[in-house]
Every structure is written in structure tokens, then in C-alpha cells.
Structure 1
Amino acid sequence: MDGDREQAAEWLREAGGGSLHAFEALYGAYAEFVLRIALKMTGSRQDAEDLCHEVFLEVWRQAASYDAARGSVEAWLAVKTRTRCLDFLRRRQRQEARRQQLSARFEPAAAGVEEEALSSISFAQLREALERIPTAQRQAVYGAYVEELSHSELARKMNRPLGTVKSFVRYGLKHLRRQLEGGGWKSGPEGGRMP
């Protein structure tokens, strides 16, 4: 058992130095372990597989930060996996709450067809306006306001510096507003409404 722990720590040290072979060995030895934790926490095989992939990407980037004096490789991986899973579950909960809010907002009132048409037009216009802003800005705005990712999470997801992502969000909102106003929306205290 101690030999296995020493071997795992050695793989991490070598992976931290850039050894793909050591990383692959570590992955082969611990992917199932990480997957089991993620599956238990999420209840979804697909989500668990995605999280396992994310954990090992993080391990590849942070292998050199492992400190054997602070615990075993298994404990280090378990903490990383649990943290990723908790972030994922919180994000999923926020997204579901946001979806419910949007659904309630765009759900037609019992009054009828006219309100239903207005709500679908406004949603269609929003989608079209998003399509007309630059791709990076669209991804940043969508990530920040629909997926409800923090700017730091967006920076990791987009593989861009934090300041760049903040600029994408700021300019994306500015361009989105221009597109909406050009489509007949007027600014109001609620942010935007049909005239």
C-alpha cells in the first residue's frame, strides 16, 4: 500500500515536470476512483464523466502543487473531485432557478394570445440580438447571465485572462443593448421592454 502511494506521488511529481507518460499512468490508476466519487455526488454518469475529465485537467495543470506531507494522492484527488462536484451542483441549482425564473417571465398570462405573442417575440429578439454580437462577447454574456458562472469560472472555461473576460462581458452587454434598441426595445428601469 505504501508502495502504491509512493508510486502515485512519483507520477504526480513527474507529471508536474511535464511527463505525459506519468500523467497517463496516474489517470489509469485513479480515473475510476474519481469517477465513483463524482457519480455518487451527481447521480449522473454523463456529468460524472465530464467532472472526471475536468478534475484530471486540473491535476495536469496543478500536479506540481501536490504536497505529500499534507496527505495521500487519493485524499488530494478526492478533495479536488468533491470541490468540482460541489461547484457543479451549485451551478446546476442556480441554472435551474434561472430557467424557472425565465420560464415564469415568458409564460403567457391567462389573458391570451397577444401576451403570448409578445413574450415569444421578445425572446426571439433577444436570441437574434445575441447572435449579432461578437462570439467571445456572446459566450461571456451567456456564461455570466444564463449559466450564472462567476467571472473566474468564465475565465477558466474560455481559457482567457480574467480582465479580458470582464471586458467581454461589459462590451457584450453594451453591444447587446444596442442590438435590442435597434430592434425596437427601449431602456427602462427593468433593463429593457418592448415599446
Structure 2
Amino acid sequence: MARTKEFDPDAALQSALELFWERGYEATSLTDLVEHLGIARASLYATFGSKRELYLKALERYGEQSDTRIVEELSQPGPALPAVRTLLRRFADEATCDDLRRGCFVTNTAVELAAHDPAAARRVGESWQGLETALVSALMRARAQGELPAGRDPVALARMLMVLMQGMRVVGKADPGPGRLRDAAAQALSLLD
């Protein structure tokens, strides 16, 4: 007779996500995970595989939560530019108000692992491509609705915004003073006029 799991794998994955997000991959040991999740090492391996596999699953979960929210915000009917402006301001505000200085889990992964872990780099790239695609779509709608001047390139603007937003997350981890981030956001927003 097979044993039933004595823990909720979904809740454990969410808990692992929070721990990895707070500490990073390298600074989180298997012992930390076992203690934080409250499960046996054998159960962790049986359910999630290795530490790396658990990290990649946590990164995927984070992307599903974060990326879905952004796509929904940018694809609402009606004027598109207000949603783009709100998103950019929110990125600046979140980077400024992040008392734990966690930043963005995807951006953290890019900085810590992407250069030497192809699977992590692929997941980071997928997340960033999704953000860029959502921005391009919103900006194309804005141009078609007359909100964005006809001479503006939605693809180039989306790429610039995506890169700026990820940069805000990095800067916010090191120097979360509001002036720098809000000034950068304001300058980027001026390109949408």
C-alpha cells in the first residue's frame, strides 16, 4: 500500500518559493529547505527532485503568478497607455518600498544563475519575453487608438520599458531610495507622450 503524503506539495512549493526569493539559490541549503518546509529530506526529494529542480519549479510558479497578473493588467479593454503607465510606476514603487530588498525572483535568478544554468536562463528569458510581448501588444493598441504618436515604435518602446523595469528591480535591491527610480520611471513615461 502506497503511503499518502503528509504535507501539501502546493503549500510546500509556495514556501520554498518564498525562501529562495528571500535568500537566493546558493544561500539556501537543503537543510534550510527541510526546516522551512517542515518536511523530511526524503519527502522533498521524492516530491520535487533535487534542490535545483525545486528552485526551477518555484521560479516557474513565481512566473505564473507574476506574469499572469501583468498580462491581465495590460490587456484590459479601453485605453492602453494608462495600464502601461501604472505598471511602470508600480515597478518603481515596489522596488522603492521593498523593505526586505527581495527584488524580483526572475531578475534575481538572471543575476545569480542565468550565466551558467541554461534551464534558469530559459525560464528568465520566457518571463521577460512574456512581459515584452504584453507591453508590445498594449503599445500597439495604444497607437491604434491614437494614444501613442504614430511615429513611435511599440516594439522598441516595449523593449526599453522591459529592460528599465528589470533594472529598477536590481537598483532597488542595492539602493531603494525613491528619487532615482521614480526619476527613471518619469523619463521613460515621457517617451510615451
Instruction: Tell me if TM exceeds 0.5.
Output: no
Larger radius of gyration: 1
Q: Which has the higher contact order (CA 8 A, sep 6+)?
A: 2
Greater helix fraction, Structure 1 or Structure 2: 1
